[in-house]
Structure 1
Amino acid sequence: MTDDERNRTPAHALLADGTTVCIRTARPGDHEQLRGLYEEMSPENLRLRFFVVSRRAAEQAADRACVPPRPGYCALLAETKGQIIGVAEYETVGEATAAEISLAVAEGLHHRGIGTLLLEHLVSAARADGIETFTADALAENHEVLKVFADLGLRTTRHFDGPELRCVIQLAENETYLTAVEARGLAADLASLEPLLRPQSIAVVGAGRKPGSVGRAVLRNLCTGSFTRQLLAVNPSVSSLMHVPAYPSVAALPLVPDLAVLAVPAAALPDTAEDCGKAGVRALVVVTAGLDAAQSAALLATCRRHGMRLVGPNCLGIANTDKQLSLDSTFAARHPRAGTVGIAVQSGGVGIALLDGLTRLGLGVSTFVSLGDKYDVSGNDLLQWWEHDGTTDLALLHLESFGNPQAFSRTARRVSRSMPVLTVDAGRTAAGRRAAASHTSAAATRTMTRQALFTQAGITATHTVSELLSAAALLHSQPLPAGSRIGIVTNAGGAGVLAADACAEAGLALPPFSADLVDALRAVLPTGASAVNPVDATAAVSETELTRCVDLLARDPGIDAVLVVLVPTAVATATGDDLVRALTDAPARPRTVAAVRLDQALPVRLLPTEGAGAVPSYADPQTAAGALAHAVRRAKWLARPPGNVPELAGVETPRARTVVESWLARHPDGGWLEPRACAELLSCYGIPQLPWAWAETEDDAVQAADRLRGPDGRIVLKAHWPGLLHKSEQGAVHLDLQGESQVRAAFRDLETRFAGLLTGVVVQPLAERGTELLAGVVQDEVFGPLVLFGLGGTATEVLADHAARLAPLTDLDIHDLIAAPRCAPLLFGHGGRGPVDLEGLEQLLYRLSRMACDLPQLAEADFNPVLAGPGGITTLDVRVRLLTRTARDPYLRRLR
C-alpha cells in the first residue's frame, strides 16, 4: 500500500444512535487531542487499556499514532464536530500478514458503537494492506472490549496467559461478518432517519408571503395536511405565515427542530444549512435547485460536519401519512392518500405520477421521499425503513443512479423476501453505448448490468410508470401464481384470442384443460360455449354462469391464474346481468384472478370484492399479461433459495495479485496483457487453456509446432501485438497448418503483413470440434464485476446471444447464466449429440467470477472462444485488460 492509500480519504458513517462521525487517519496535528482523550480516561479505563495506570503510556500512545504514515502501521480516528472520540490502530509484527491492534474510546462515550465502527474500518484497511490476522491482548476482566471482538462477526479464538487474554481474529470475509455489519448498519440507519421521517418538529426555511413560491407551497401542505407536531417558519419579514409562527432566522427559533425544509435561493443555501447545523437540526429536506459545484460541496460538507441527514437537493419533498403524524412537506398539488405503499423517486415528475396513480387505484402511500439529486439519503435507506416501519407492504422505486449497487443489491434481496419491490428502469438508452472494443465489453451495456442487478435482487423492473402501476395493482391485491399456466375465460371469442396472444408473447402458458375440467365447464356454461382454453362463454353467459366458470378454473390444479376478459354486450344489459359481479361478489379465490374490460378508460383499476380484497382490471390484454408475467417471475424468485458461493480449490489469489501488480508497475497506464501474462493469471485460478507456445521467430514457431502437434498434426498460428482484439477480422490467424513448410509460410505471411506491429505469434494445436462459447467479465466502476456468458466465436456480436450476472456468482446465478442464452439447448444435448461438460463449464464461470472479485484492476477479460464438448471445457483465446485501480470495500459502513 502506498503512503497516499494509508492516508486515506475521510469517510463518514453512522453510530448506533444515528450520530454521524468521521473516520480518518491520524495526523501529527491530532497529538494534543489524542493525548487528551487518554488522559481524560478514568484510572480504571486506563488500566484496562494499558494494563497499568500510567499517564506516560497515554503520551506514548499519542506519539505512536501521530507520526507520518509508515508501512505496516495504521491509526484511524473517530471524530465528531471536530472532537476525537475514539482511536483504533494496527501494526504488523514479524510476518507482514499479521498485525497487533489496540482500541480506545473516549470516557463516557461507550456503548454507542464507536469501537465497533472503528474496527470495521480498520479491518477494511488491513485487508487492503494484505493483512490476514489481527491479534489483540486484553485483561480477562475487560469484558466490554472482548465482547466487541466477539461480536464483530469474524472468526475469533482466545488464548489465556495468566490474567491476560490473547484474541486472534481472522480477517477473511465471510457471510457471518457481512450479516453482522449489515445488522449494525441497519440499526444505525433507522435511528438516523427518525428525525427525517418521524420528526417531532419542523421548520420551513424560506417560506414566503407570495403565493406560488415553493416554500409557501410546502408550508401550506403541512398546514392543510394537518401535521400533528410542532410547525415553525423562518421569514425575516413577518411574525406569522398561514397562522404559523415565523421567526427571522434559524438561530431565533424557540426550539431546535428535528427537520428543516430549505426553500431558499441556491446562493443562500450553504449559509442556511450551516445555521441549521449550528443550531442542532438533525435532518434537512432541500427543495432548492440549481446549485453549482461549490454550493453542492458546501451543502454536503455541512451536513456531514454537523451530522444532519439530507434529502435532495432539487427534490419535491417528503411525506409520511401515518395519522399520528400527517406529514406532507412536499409542494405537490394534492396530498397523498394514506396507504401502505412506499415510494422513493429521483424525479419529482415521476413521483407525482406515482402518487396520482396510487390514489386512483385506492392504494395510497405510507412514506413518500423525493430523493432529487440524492446527495445523501438513498433508495437503500428507504428500503430499510420500509422493511421495519410496520406499515409498508409494497415498495416503488425510481432510481436514475446507484451510489453503491452491491450494498443496494444485498439490501434489496433481503427486503424483496418480505414485500414486492418494483422499479422503473430508467436510463435504458445507454443500451446502445459500447464501453470498449473487445467482444465482452461491447456486449456489456449498462442496461444489461442494471437488469442483472434487478434480476438477482428480486426486483420487479418495468419500462414505464404505467407498467409499474399495473404490476403493483396485481402484486398488492392478489396471491402470487404458483406457475405460468393461465386459464382465460371471455364472453367474446375474438377478445379471448387477443388475450391468448398477449399471454404467449409475455412468456405465459395456456395449457389444455383436463377432460374432467372440460366436462365441468360444459355443465355450467350456456349452450354453444367452448370449454377449451381460452374459454368462450359466449355473449349469452349470465353472471351466475360466469361465476361458476371462474370458480372452476380458480380451483383446478392445472391452472395457476385466471384471466377474465369482458366485452360489454346488449345481451347482458337486456338481462340485467353485470358480469363484473362474477368477480367482485364472490369470496376470495385460491388462485390469482385478473380481469380485462375492453370498455375501461383507465389502464388499470382495482375492483373491490367481498371483504377487503380486490381484483385488478386492465383496459387491454397486453397490460394484464405483462402484470401476470411480473407476478410469475416474482413467485419463481421467491421459491428459490438464496444461493451459495462455493469454495474453490486451487485458487492462488496472492500470486494473482502479484502478477497484476508487477505488470501494472511496468505499465502504469494499464492495457492488454500479453499471452504469457494472461496464461499465468489464468493458471492462478485453475482456468483450463489449450496448450500453446510463444514464438518470436520462424524457427521458434516450427519447434513449437513440433512439440504441440496432436494426433492429426494440425497447427494454428495467431498473430499478437498490443491492442489486437479481433484476429479473425484482420486476417491474423492461420488455421489447419500441416508440416513444417506450411508453418514457415504462415509465419512469414504474418510477419510481412503486420510488419512494425507484430511482437510474436501464439502457436497452438488445432482444437477438436465443439460448441464455441463466450465467457467474459467487465469491471463496471459503479456496479462492480459483471460476468457474461453466451454464444462465442466470430458470430458473437452479430447474434448477441448473451446473459449476464453480477459477481460474485452463486450456484443459482451460474445455472441462470448457462440456461438463459438461446444457445442453451446445444449445451444440454440438443440434436442427440449429448450434453457438454456442464460441471466444467460451471467451474469456469465460478473461477472467472472469483478472479474478477479478487482483482479490481481487472477492467475486462474476454474468453472467446471457449470450446465446450462432452470431454471438457477449454479456453482457446484469452484477452485481459488491466487498469490501475484500488479495491473499494462495497460493504464498509460509510455514508455517500
Structure 2
Amino acid sequence: MKNETLIGPRTHALLADGTTVCIRPVAAADHDQLQGLYEEMSPENLRLRFFAASRRSAEMAADRACATPHVGYRALLAERSGQVIGLAEYDTGGTGTEAEISIAVADGLHHRGVGTILVEHLVSAARADGVTSFTADALSENQEVLRLFADLGLRTARRFEGPEARCTIALDEVDTYLTAVEERGRAADVESLRPLLRPTAVAVVGAGRKPGSVGRAILHQLKAGGYTGRLWAVNPAATSILGVPSHPSVSALPRTPDLVVVAVPAAAVPATAEECGKAGVRALLVVTAGLDADQAKALLAACRTYGMRMVGPNCLGISNTDPQHRLDATFAAHHPRPGTAGVAVQSGGVGIALLDGMSRLGIGVSSFVSLGDKYDVSGNDMLQWWESDAHTDLALLHLESFGNPRAFSRTARRVTRRMPVLTVDAGRTDAGRRAAASHTAAAATRTMTRQALFTQAGITAAHSVGELLETAALLHSQPLPAGSRVMIVTNAGGAGVLSADACAEAGLTLPTPPAKLVEDLFTVLPEGAAIGNPVDATAAVTEDRLADCVDRIMRHPGVDAVLVALVPTAVAAATGDDLVKAVTARPGHRPKPVVVVRLEQTLPVELLSRTGGGTVPAYAEPQAAARALAHAARRAAWLARPAGTVPDLDGIDTARAHTCIETYLEAHPDGGWLDPRTCAELLDCYGIPQLPWAWATTEDEAVLAADRMRGPGGLVVMKAYWPGLLHKSAQHAVHLDLRGDSQVRAAFRDLETRFAGLLTGVVVQPLAARGTELFAGVVQDQVFGPLVLFGLGGTATEILADHAARLAPLTDHDVHDLITSPRCAPLLFGAAGGGPVDLPGLEQLLHRLSRMASDLAQLAEADFNPVLAEPGAVTVLDARVRLLPRRPQDPYLRRLR
C-alpha cells in the first residue's frame, strides 16, 4: 500500500492522556479484531456509527477494511498492547480529490484522542496522495464526531439535512492545522512525562547490596534526597537495601511503580523492560550502557508495546527538585540545588558540569534529564515539559544529535518567546574550514545547518559549557538590553582597554558619549578622570562617586548596557571603599543590564547579591562579559522582531513539477542530475527567471541556436553538457564571447573533440550583461530538511565560501538575513558604486527556491551558479538540479521516534 511507504508499516504516537498507541495500515489478518471492535460497541454507539444498530454492520465494516485495497482507499487502525481500539478510513471512489472519511473508536476509550490521532495520520497520507478535502456524514446528535472534525484545525463546513449533518473538511490549511496539531502534541507529550518526572512511586532494579553499583548509588540519592513518594529496590537476594524495602521482582512489588530505574547488565535490560511493561509501569530510566543492536531493538520494542516513556539508555539519570517530589534519580556526586533552570544533556559529563555550575551560581535546577543515547525522550520533549512547568524560566540544552529538527525548531521558536533557551553547539568539526566546493551539497556542512536551526529558532548557542554558564548568569539576573550599545566604566585604564577590545570583538557597539553626558559625568568623577568610552574614573574614584557615575550612564537613552571593569587598588583599600558595592549596594530596579568584570576574581563567573534583592553577574575576564552581553543583545533583537511569514507566491505549478519529476525518475530510477531541458522546465514551474538558452547536438544546430540567442552585442556563450558534468569552468567546458558562425563552429568542434564519448550536446546562451555574480542553492538534508544557501557566486564561491544558510521554508525574515549575512552583502546595496541590485527580485528568487525544495522531497540538491544580479533584474545563468527517488515525509506528523 502506498501509505505504508509514507508512514511506515507501523508508527507509535501519544494519546491525549499520555498513553502510547500503535498506528498502522489494516491487514487481512485484522478482520476478527475489527469485527470485534464493532460488535463490542453499545447499541447506541453502533447507531451513531452506522445510523442503525445492526450487528450485520460490524461484519460488513470489517470486510471492507480488510479487503484487497483499491485505488483511493486507505484504512488505518490504532492498537494498544496488540488490541485494536480504533479504525479510520477514507475512500475517493478511485477518482477525484475528495474522499469520504469514517471513524470508529472502541467503547470506553472516547475522549482520549484515538479518533483525532487516526485522522491526523489519514490527513498526512491523503495530502501525499493529492486528496484536497474529506467529507463525512454524521447524525446531528453525534456531537463527539462533529466536535472532532471542528477541533482539527482545518476549515470545516457543515450542512444539515434533517437528522444528518454533511461535513466537508478542507485539507489545504497549513499554519492553523500545524498549530492545532502542535498543541495536541504538546499536551499529550507533557502528560506522558508525568510518570517520569513526577512519579508517585519508584523502583530501582539492579541496586546491589554492596557499595559500588550504579543502581545502589541512585537508590542512595533517591533516599538521601528526600523523595516524597513510595520507594523500593528490586533484588531477589535482599529484603532491604540502604533501609529501603527490596522485593524479588517488579511484579512482586506492593503496587505498580510509575517509574522504574533499570541498572542491570546490558544482557538483562530487554527482559527487565518486558517485565515492567507487563506489570503496567509507565516510565523507564535506563542507566545501563553498552547495549548491542539486538538489545537496543528489544528495549525500544518493549517500551512501544506497553506504552512506556524512556530516558536513556547510557545516561546519568533524572532529577526534579520540586519540593512536592524531590526526585533525584542520578548518580551525580551532589544533589542539584533547587531553582529555575531546566537542563537536558546527552553527555553525562556535561550534565554534571551544568548541575554544579547552576548550583554554584545560585540559579539552581527545576528539572534535569540526562538523555544519554536518546532512544525515546528527547530535547524536544523537555522543551515542551518546561514550557508547561511553572517552575522553569531558563532552558539549557546539550544535544549531540537531533531526531526531528523541524519539529524541534517549531517547538523552540514557541518556547524561546517565553524563556531563554541556551545550548552548547557541540561537534563543530567544520568550524573554520572553508568549503572549497562549487556545489551546494559540498558547501553545506552540519555546522552550518545546525547554526541555521539555532538562529531561526531564537536559541542562544554557546561554544562551550563555560560560555553557556556565563550567558545563563546574565540572562537569569539582568534585563535584556534594548540594543548593542555598551558603555564601559573602569578604575584602571588598562582594564578599560581590554574591555573595549572584548566588546568590539563580540560585535557590540561602543558609542561616544555626547557632550551633555560628558559634562554630567565630570561633576561626579574625581579630577583627572577621562570621559570617553571607556570612562576612566581613575584609581581615586570612591564607591559613591562610581555609583553616581553608573547611575547617570544608565539613565542615558543612548546606552543599552553598562560594563564596569574593576581592579583592586591600594587607594580603595586605604579609604575602605568597596567599588563593587557601587553596582550592588544601591537598591531599586534597573531597566538596563549592568555587568562587572573583576580581573582578580578566581571563578569565571559569579552572581553577586544586590541590596534589596536580585543579583549582578561578575566575570573574571572581559571577553566573558562581552560574549554574554552580545548573546543577550541578539536575544533581545530576536524577540523584538515579529515572527516571520512565508509569502504566497504566484505562478507556481506544483502539479506540473511533480509530473516532471515523476517522468524523470521513471526513466532514471536511481535519480541523477537533470538534463538542461528538464531542469529548465522544473525552474519554470516555480517562476524562477532564467537566461534564454537553446539546445544543440550538432555543429549546424549550434550555429542556428547562436543566431536565435544573439543579443544586442552579438556575442554568445557555449556550454558543454553530459550527465554528471558539475564543474564546467574547472574542466574548461565553456566558451565565452563567441562572435559569428565561424567562432561558434570552432567552439563546438573543440568541445566535441576534447570530450568525445562524453558530450551529449551543448547549451547556447546570449552573453549576459555585467553584474554581481551570486550563488543560490539548496540541499535536502534527510534529518534537517531543505537547507538554502546564498552568497558570492562564480568561481569565487570555491575560494571564499562566502555563504549564509537558512532552513526552508524561508520566511521574509529568513530571506532578509540570507541577503545581508554574507561578506559580499554591501555589493548588493551599491557599495561598489553601481547602485543596488534588484533586491525584490533576489528575495523572490530565494522564496521560490525555498518553495521548490519544500514541495519536492525528491529534490536532493539544486545549484544556481552564477545568479546575475543587476539593478533591474535577477537571472539564473546556470542551474543544476539533482533528484533522488525519495518519498515525502511529513515532519510534523505526531509520532514517537
Answer yes or no: same fold by TM over 0.5. yes
Q: Which deviates further from its counterpart, 430-439 or 216-225?
A: 430-439
Q: 1:6 to 1:221 in 2, by over 3 A?
A: closer
Shift of 1:433: 8.7
Which residue does 1:581 correspond to in 2?
A: 581
Partners of 1:27 and 1:68 within 8 A in 2: no
**1:159 match:** 159
1:509-568 per-residue CA deviation (whole Å, 9 max, x = no partner) reads 000001111011111001001011100011111101110111111111010000000011
Contact 1:3 1:70 in 2 (8 A): no
2:789 matched to 1:796? no
Show the 5 A alignment for 1:445-844: 445-587=445-587, 588-844=589-845
Q: Which residue of 2 aligns with 1:32?
A: 32
Which digits, 9 at most, give the CA deviation of each residue in 1:757-812, with x for residues without a partner? 11110000000111100110010110000001111011012111111100000011
> Secondary structure, in 3 states, of the residue corresponding to 2:380?
helix
Mapping for residues 260-275 of structure 1, pairs under 5 Å: 260-275=260-275
SS of the residue corresponding to residue 544 of structure 2 reads: helix
Give 1:107 shift.
1.3
Amino acid at match of 1:635: A
Per the TM alignment, residue 729 of structure 1 is displaced from its structure 2 partner at its CA by 1.0
- Aligned-pair distance for 1:160? 2.9
How many angstroms apart in 2 are the aligned matches of 1:369 and 1:816? 34
CA contact (8 A) 2:3 2:125 kept: no
> 1:286-306 CA deviation, whole Å, 9 max, x = no partner?
000000000000000000000
Aligned partners of 2:436 and 2:114: how far apart in 1? 44
Q: Report the Cα distance in structure 1 between the residues aligned to 2:371 and 2:8, rounded to whole angstroms.
A: 29
The verdict on how the C-alpha distance between 1:435 and 1:133 changes in structure 2, with shifts beyond 3 A counting, is farther
| Closer/same/farther in 2, CA of residues 597 and 422 from structure 1, 3 Å limit | same
Name the counterpart of 1:893.
Answer: 894
Q: 1:620 to 1:436 in 2, by over 3 A?
A: closer
CA distance in 2, matches of 1:783, 1:531: 50
SS at match of 1:329: strand
2:705 maps to a residue whose letter is: A
Residue range with higher mean Cα deviation, 123-132 or 872-881? 123-132
The amino acid across from 1:304 in the alignment is R
1:687–1:283 CA distance, 2 compared to 1 (3 A): same
The CA deviation at 1:438 is 4.7
Deviation at 1:432, TM superposition (A): 7.9
How many angstroms apart in 1 are the aligned matches of 2:436 and 2:30? 46
User: Residue 41 of structure 2 aligns to which amino acid in structure 1?
Assistant: M
Q: Give me the whole-angstrom Cα distance separating, in 2, the residues matched to 1:256 and 1:589.
A: 52
Give the match's secondary structure for 2:531. Answer: coil
Closer/same/farther in 2, CA of residues 7 and 601 from structure 1, 3 Å limit: closer
CA distances 1:655-683 after superposition (whole Å, capped 9, x unpaired): 11111111111111111111001001001
SS in 1 for 2:429: helix
**What letter corresponds to residue 836 of structure 1 in structure 2?**
V
Look up the match of 2:84: 84
Stretches of 4+ aligned residues off by more than 3 angstroms: 1-4, 430-438
Cα pair 2:273 2:302 within 8 Å, conserved: yes
Give the structure-1-normalised TM-score. Answer: 0.99
Distance 1:432 1:696 in 2: 44
Unpaired segments of 5 or more residues in structure 1?
none
Aligned-partner residue type, residue 811 of structure 2:
T
SS in 2 for 1:429: coil
Deviation at 1:119, TM superposition (A): 0.1
Q: Do the aligned partners of 2:437 and 2:443 also contact (CA within 8 Å) in 1?
A: no
Equivalent position of 2:73 in the other structure: 73
Q: Distance in 1 between matches of 2:474 and 2:248?
A: 50
Q: 1:436 to 1:12 in 2, by over 3 A?
A: farther
CA distance in 1, matches of 2:387, 2:91: 40
User: Higher mean Cα deviation, 96-105 or 840-849?
Assistant: 96-105
CA contact (8 A) 1:432 1:445 kept: no
Provide closer, same or farther for how the CA distance between residues 661 and 505 of structure 1 changes in structure 2, counting only shifts above 3 A: same
1:202 corresponds to: 202
Shift of 1:70: 3.3
- Report the equivalent of 1:185: 185
CA contact (8 A) 1:398 1:426 kept: yes
- Cα distance in 1 for partners of 2:8, 2:165 equals 32
Q: Matched residues in 1 for 2:539 and 2:435: separation?
A: 56
CA contact (8 A) 2:487 2:534 kept: yes
SS of residue in 2 equivalent to 1:183: helix
1:842-877 deviation per Cα after TM superposition (whole angstroms, max 9, x unaligned): 110010000000001111100000001111110000
The answer on 1:220 being equivalent to 2:220 is yes
CA shift, 1:48, in A, is 1.4
Cα distance in structure 2, aligned partners of 1:487 and 1:253:
64
Letter in 2 for 1:417: R
Q: Deviations over 1:87-113 (max 9, x none)?
A: 000111263322111111111211111
Q: Give the SS at the match of 2:9.
A: coil
Alpha-carbon displacement from aligned partner over 1:624-651 (angstroms, at most 9, x marks no partner): 1111100000000000001101111111
Q: Distance in 2 between matches of 1:551 and 1:68?
A: 79
Partner of residue 105, structure 1: 105
Q: Which amino acid aligns with 2:847?
A: Y
CA contact (8 A) 2:438 2:798 kept: no
For 1:153 and 1:615, how far apart are their aligned partners in 2? 45
Counterpart for residue 5 of structure 1: 5
Aligned partners of 2:669 and 2:883: how far apart in 1? Answer: 10
Residues 433, 445 of structure 1: 8 Å contact kept: no
Residue 370 of structure 2 corresponds to 370
Task: Write the distance in 2 (CA, Å) between the matches of 1:3 and 1:653.
Answer: 21
Q: 1:776 and 1:830, CA in 2 relative to 1: closer, same or farther beyond 3 A?
A: same
Q: Determine the C-alpha separation between the residues in 1 that align with 2:675 and 2:429.
A: 35
> In the alignment, which residue of structure 1 is the partner of 2:409?
409
- Is the contact between residue 436 and residue 801 of structure 2 (CA under 8 Å) also seen in structure 1? no
Distance (whole Å) between structure 2 residues aligned to residue 14 and residue 724 of structure 1 = 48
Q: Which amino acid is the alignment partner of residue 352 of structure 1? A: I
Is 1:95 the counterpart of 2:95 in the alignment?
A: yes
CA distance in 1, matches of 2:853, 2:386: 33
| Secondary structure of the structure 1 residue equivalent to 2:582 | helix
**TM-superposition CA deviations, 1:576-607 (whole Å, max 9, x none):** 11101111101232211001000011111111
Percent pairwise identity: 74
Contact in 2 for aligned 1:715/1:736 (Cα 8 Å): yes
Query: Structure 1 229/435 Cα, relative in aligned 2: closer, same or farther at 3 Å?
Result: farther
8 Å CA contact 1:435, 1:441 repeated in 2: no
Q: CA shift at 1:435, angstroms?
A: 10
Task: Give the residue type in structure 1 aligned to 2:668.
Answer: H
For the 8 Å contact 1:431–1:445, the answer to whether it is kept is: no
SS of equivalent residue, structure 1 residue 622: helix
Could you tell me how far apart the structure 1 residues matched to 2:875 and 2:132 are?
34
- List aligned pairs for 1:273-422, cutoff 5 A: 273-422=273-422
Equivalent-residue separation in structure 2 for 1:297 and 1:95 (angstroms): 41
The 3-state SS of whatever aligns with 1:102 is strand
- For 2:290, the aligned partner's letter is G
CA RMSD in angstroms comes to 1.3
Find the aligned partners of 2:530 and 2:3 in 1 and give their Cα distance.
Answer: 79
Q: What's the offset of the Cα at 1:162? A: 3.2
- Residue 831 of structure 1 aligns to a residue whose secondary structure is coil
Letter in 2 for 1:821: P
Which string of whole-angstrom CA distances, capped at 9 and with x for unpartnered residues, describes residues 292-328 of structure 1? 0000000000000000000000000000001111110
Q: Distance in 2 between matches of 1:81 and 1:734?
A: 68
Q: After alignment, is 391-400 or 86-95 more displaced?
A: 86-95
- TM-score normalized by structure 2? 0.99
Report the alpha carbon displacement of residue 402 of structure 1 after superposing the two structures with TM.
0.4
- Determine if contact 1:3/1:69 at 8 Å carries over to the other structure: no
- When structure 1 is superposed on structure 2, of 856-865 and 659-668 the one drifting more is 659-668
Report how many aligned residue pairs link the two structures: 896
Compared CA separation, residues 678 and 631, structure 1 to 2 (3 A): same
